[in-house]
Chain A
Amino acid sequence: MKKNNDKSSPSSSTAKVTHLLMAWSEGDLSALEMLTPLVHEELRRLAHYYMKGERRGHTLQTTALVNEAYLKLIDQKRVKFRNRAQFYALAGTLMRHILVDHARTRNYLKRGAGAQRVSLDKALIVCGDRDEGLVALDAALIRLSAIDARKSKVVELRFFGGLSVDETAEALDLSSVTVMREWRMAKAWLYNALYDT
């Protein structure tokens, strides 16, 4: 039985992204600049799906969509990167950078425009004047890294980089069990950091 479910099919921008990531890892800082619009594009595309989905009351297979997007941006399997672990780590850092930046700008504009605050991810609603969502999480993650850099890195790779437990384990040269442990603790700590005022 061969399942027609080849996740490694070339998707549109994969080749370019992979190339950019590799360039970036080799010290070409302009790669970041070039990669940013691609991530934005992907974000907007996903956002579009959600909007359409919500309007039509469809339950979308969002997990599949997000996985697609990550796959497009960080397709680890298609490239024989000389150091896959390094590649994963880079991807996580980069995604964090871009996404947090995106969120920061968006928050800023939203406040500036005086628009009503809308957050679809209830888990990330915060009160008051504090930064919201990813920005707040990023700040908390910086604090966590001061206490426990490894836990912070695990969150970066899994949450921002979209990596699986096993991929994270490979990137950090840890066992999957350890990654799960680190994740569990980091998640609880971050949750407290954001909501337990």
Chain B
Amino acid sequence: MTPERWQQLDHLFHSALEVAQEKRAAFLREVCAGDDSLLRHVESLISAHEEAGSFIESPALEVEARELAGETAPTKIASGKTISHYEIISPLGSGGMADVYLAQDLTLNRRVALKLLPEYFTRDRDRLRRFQQEARTASSLNHPNIITTYEIGQADDRHFIALEFIDGETLRQNFIDKRGHLVGTPLRTREALDIAIQTADALAAAHEAHIIHRDIKPENIMVRRRDGYVKVLDFGLAKLTEGPVVDVEATIGSLVQTSAGMVMGTANYMSPEQARSEKVDVRTDIWSLGVVLYEMVAGCVPFERATPSEVIALILEREPLPLTRFARDVPAELERIVTKALTKDVEARYQTTKDLLIDLRRLRQRLEIEAEIQRTGEPPDKIGEEAPARGQQRVVVTEKTIAQETRGASVVHPSSGTEYWFTQSKLHRNAGIVLGLLVTIAIGYGIHKLTRRGETALSFQSAKLTRLTTTGKATMAAISPDAKLVVHVVNDGGKRSLWTRQVATQSNIEIVPPAVVTYRGLTFSPDGNYIYYCVSSKNADQIAVFRVSTFGGTPTKLLDDVDGDIDHMVSATVSVSPNGKQIAFLRKGARKETALMIANADGSGERNVTIYQPEDGIGFPKWSPDGRRIAYAVLNYPSNTTTVVEAQVADGSKKPLTSQKWLRIFGLGWLRDGSGLLMLAGRDKFVCQIWHLSLPSGEAHQLTNDLNDYVGMSLAADANTLAVIKMEKQASIWMASNNDTSRAHPVTSGPKADDQVALSPDGGKIVFRSNASGNSDIWIVNADGSNPKQLTTDAGINVGPVVSPDGRHILFLSDRNGVAHIWKMNIEGGDQKQLTYGNGEQAPQFSPDGQWVVYSTIAENSSVWRIPAAGGKPVQLTEKDSEVPTVSPDGKLVACLYKDENAPVRIALIPLEGGRPLKTLDYGAPSAILRWTPDGRAIAYVDPRDTVSNIVARPIDGGAVKQLTDFKTDRTFSFDWSRDGSQLALARGTQASDVILIKYIH
């Protein structure tokens, strides 16, 4: 074909395609004008075009991989065939590198696993070298938990390795097969520990021989059927694929470093340094084992996304959800071990596998002791001074099982009443028995396990918990240095007052009368004579610092205009220097930068210690016992993590106190000897726990491990006693017709919190959030209370349900992937899909036509967005700080809370398409869910501050607020109407928050 002819063909082909199909034949006949050959050519190309479909549309790599997949299935070698002196029995599987067969060793008459390098690769010298090197490496390791290599050989161009045959399953198969589905159900803690210990044992031996596995994952951990013995497979594979080991002899200690470069393996188990293609050493195996251990306990890997690159992003940036999210009885010590193995900073991780192994073994022994005690001893019927003695007796009983134990064991005992004891008996380490048996008594109200380790532990040996208040109205507390007094805020119907309570006598004195104010921080002066507190009046951002005598009197205002809320959490605590002469506080500048400041105790002589730019929020300043430093929490907004930093008072120089990061920190307190801090911190937004940060090591471990919520409360600590606030909510679902609350009746009941409700448009079904399962889940029930059904069962927190206008779908929030996103499912709970993928979203609502979902983001400056209900690209509707949108019944307007610079929060009405507010209305309550009234004339909400609360409606025409319900007791947490407004579903109940005192006894 001449180039001219080809060009003509090209041109005609495209021109013809532009002509409608039915006219094409005529068009071609016309333009080809009798050139039949040309016509045939074009026509055949066009029909090829129409037939070709997906031809070459998938990339070649995929095509070839699929071809390969079609033939690499391990069925290639028929049974009965012999390779060298091995007779093939059956295929066992196919790894990343080779196919494995079960074979009979005809010489030694034993079964072996025969690993064959596919013939195809034999000519690939590089691969062959790796294959053989792997075998040599593995065979150099002689350990009961490492698979034994019998022979490395070659027969007729087939290269093979004969390995010990293990009759069992890999941990991966274990997850899949036994449990019947792909994503594993968690193993029991004991089982998981056993496997982790044996794996760590194998790794420790390998690491000692300067061999790094680099590809630890469930596929490479085999469990023998007969006895549960663990065998680690594929040793040295990853290392050898990476090229030569760099001068092993010259490396220091047990660390083996190799050249940076390619790392193979599943992304899920990759360490951050592997993910960054950096040099790896033994600590990379420690990470991977941490992931496996996590997966065994949680039933899912800590970092999971659809594609490897997304997984890698998680590995590098995110902290995994705590294990308690998946299994409630996870020992705090196990959580600590996993956290330490999964520390991104390689220097803060376990440094040797031996250390990890020791911790795992200790924990297993501790659990064995617990089990032993529960089996052999009746639970103590008394609590108090007898407990240590009892602990000792138990230890004697179980002495043989703990002969190697050196410290730390925790035991759970039931108890009654409102006091709980943590005791620890003292035994001698050299006697070869338990150094510390930590007897944990409890559950019920709160802290149910307090575990600790000798070298990092606090200097307490037992702890007593007391519920100090029972009114359910305490919202903040601080304890005096001598631990004899507790000052606390009492919230009664939105009016807050300050009370001093004597711990011993229970006497309670009001020292600041009730007022509509918000307390932002509370602390005693070091001599215990004064209370310093931060307070803001209703709706005002301005916070003032006051001082009042411990037993009342007229408060003195010391400072105006202090700040320091981080991420909308109360954090503007004031701290008094140990000599009582200075106070530390926070203040925001014009550019939103936050300064840590100090002043004289009377408020004079202010000066900056250090300044943080707007990307960081700081809070909870706490003066160190030596008076030279101030510790505080720093929330870095871009990375959305919080950590603890200290600044020198003299020169403002800053130093992080730990490399560990939390999602949020809600309180800090120094231990009196300066050896560390106690903190209230959450790895996620929902469950806040007590942590101990040890100094100078910076090592943090969790002291409490339960599902209770200590969120947003202040923490005060002296050396032995700390006061925290614990929140407890009880709520159930009610139905009322025609807003007639006198005839409202409960639909659900029981001691649980059913506190968020949505109603199907026809009023027939109620969808609600409940903690009845022990986790926060979405449930559905018929309006008459029949047929309750749990719709979500994952380990995340699932909240905030709404029903679609057609009644067929439910939107809800779930943090199952680590951050709260909007999810969608059908009304039966099926087909659960993530709808939004931002940095955190909340308050989803459907538009009345069901086409859109409107929601707000949970960022520092939250904004309102909408996204197609079927999924798609989100569109931002508001620029300014705004949240909790709701769409009007006619679908034209969105009402949301809206904050303009320094003005108070108002309700704004904006078009569904977005833009500036068309109108704003007074609001006057803290953030709460808004809903349009069914008639579209008003915005309804409940003031969450009221302890007895009713739905109020604010007319959009600017009229006065009207009360819609008339309940005389209990809070209304949430509500929803049927489409015609005749049915109203309510979530109602009580929310108690009380001061809990934790006293440690020497």
B876 contacts which chain A residues (CB < 8 A)?
A: 1
Are A15 and B59 closer than 8 Å at their CB atoms?
A: no
Q: Is B4 an interface residue (CB 8 A)?
A: no
Q: Is the CB of B264 within 8 A of A3?
A: no
Q: Is the CB of A9 within 8 A of B309?
A: yes
- Max count, chain A CB within 10 A of own CB: residue among B55, B61, B68, B314: B61
Residue contact A99 to B60, C-beta cutoff 8 Å: yes
B82 nearest CB across to chain A (Å): 17
Instruction: Convert B542-583 into 0s and 1s, putting 1 for each residue whose CB lies closer than 8 angstroms to a CB of A.
Output: 000000000000000000000000000000000000000000
Chain B residues with CB under 8 A of A16: 261-262, 277
Given A9-B312, A40-B127, A109-B119, 5 further pairs, Cβ under 8 A: A8-B309, A13-B264, A41-B96, A106-B67, A159-B56
Residues of B within 8 A of A67 (CB): 307
From A37, A70, A99, A188, contact of B126 by CB (8 A): A37
Say how far B499's CB is from chain A's closest CB, in angstroms: 45
Q: Which residues on A sit within 8 Å (CB–CB) of B85?
A: none
Q: Is B109 engaged at the interface, CB distance under 8 Å to the other chain?
A: no
Question: Smallest distance from the beta carbon of A138 to chain B beta carbons, Å?
Answer: 9
Q: A2–B309 Cα gap in the complex (Å)?
A: 16
A70 adjacent to B61 (CB under 8 Å): yes
Smallest CB gap from A147: residue in B: B6
A residues sitting closer than 8 Å to B (CB atoms) are 1-16, 34, 36-51, 54, 56, 61-62, 64-71, 73, 95-96, 99, 102-103, 105-106, 109-110, 113, 115, 118-121, 123-124, 133-134, 137, 147-148, 155, 158-160, 162, 181, 184-185, 187-192, 196
Does any Cβ of A come within 8 Å of B14's Cβ?
yes
Given contacts A14-B277, A188-B48, contact A120 B270 (CB under 8 A): no
Q: Is B505 an interface residue (CB 8 A)?
A: no
Q: Cβ of B71 < 8 Å from any Cβ of A? A: yes
Q: Is there contact, CB below 8 Å, between A103 and B264?
A: no
Q: How far is the CA of A4 from the CA of B837 in the complex (A)?
A: 7
A184/B49 in contact, CB under 8 A: yes
Q: What chain A residues lie within 8 Å of B839 (beta carbons)?
A: 1-2
| B834, chain A: closest CB distance, angstroms | 11
Complex interface: chain A residues within 8 A of B73 (CB)? 51
Q: Cβ of A46 and Cβ of B277 under 8 Å apart?
A: no
A-contacting residues, B442-480, CB 8 Å = none
Q: Evaluate contact between B44 and A192: CB separation under 8 angstroms.
A: yes
Contacts of B389 in A (CB 8 A): none
Are B66's CB and A120's CB within 8 A? yes
- Is there contact, CB below 8 Å, between A160 and B60? yes
Q: What is the size, in residues, of chain B's interface with A at 8 Å between Cβ atoms? A: 76
User: B63 and A134: CB pair below 8 A?
Assistant: yes
How far is the CB of A107 from the nearest CB of chain B, in Å? 9
B306 / chain A contacts, CB cutoff of 8 Å:
61, 64
**Among candidates A4, A50, A123, residue contacting B310 with C-beta atoms closer than 8 Å:** A4
Given A56-B182, A99-B61, A118-B67, A123-B45 contact (CB < 8 Å): no
Task: Report the bound CA distance from A1 to B819 in whole Å.
Answer: 13
Residue from the list A41, A61, A148, A189 in contact with B48, Cβ < 8 A: A189
| Minimum Cβ distance to chain B for residue A134 (Å) | 6
Q: Cβ of B275 < 8 Å from any Cβ of A?
A: yes
Contact (Cβ within 8 A) B313 A133: no
Residue among A8, A15, A43 making CB contact with B61, cutoff 8 Å: A43
Complex CA distance for A169 and B115, rounded to whole angstroms = 46
CB-based nearest B residue for A38: B262
Q: Answer whether A115 and B53 are a contact pair too, CB < 8 Å, given A12-B262, A38-B262.
A: no
User: Contacting B55 at CB < 8 Å: which of A51, A62, A65, A191?
Assistant: A191
Query: How many whole Å from B620's CB to the nearest CB in chain A?
Result: 28
Q: Are A48 and B120 in contact (CB under 8 A)?
A: no
> In the complex the two chains form, is B182's CB within 8 Å of A123's CB?
no
- What CA separation (Å) do A159 and B876 show in the bound complex? 38
Which residues from A are CB-within-8-Å of B182?
56
A43 to B59 CA separation, bound complex (whole angstroms)? 12
B40-55 contact mask (Cβ, 8 Å, vs A): 1 or 0: 0000111011011111
A33, chain B: closest CB distance, angstroms:
8
**CB nearest neighbor in B for A74:** B61
CB of B14 within 8 A of CB of A12, answer no
B263:A12 contact, CB within 8 angstroms: yes
Residues of B within 8 Å of A11, CB to CB, are 267, 308-309, 312
Query: Are the CB atoms of A66 and B58 closer together than 8 Å?
Result: yes
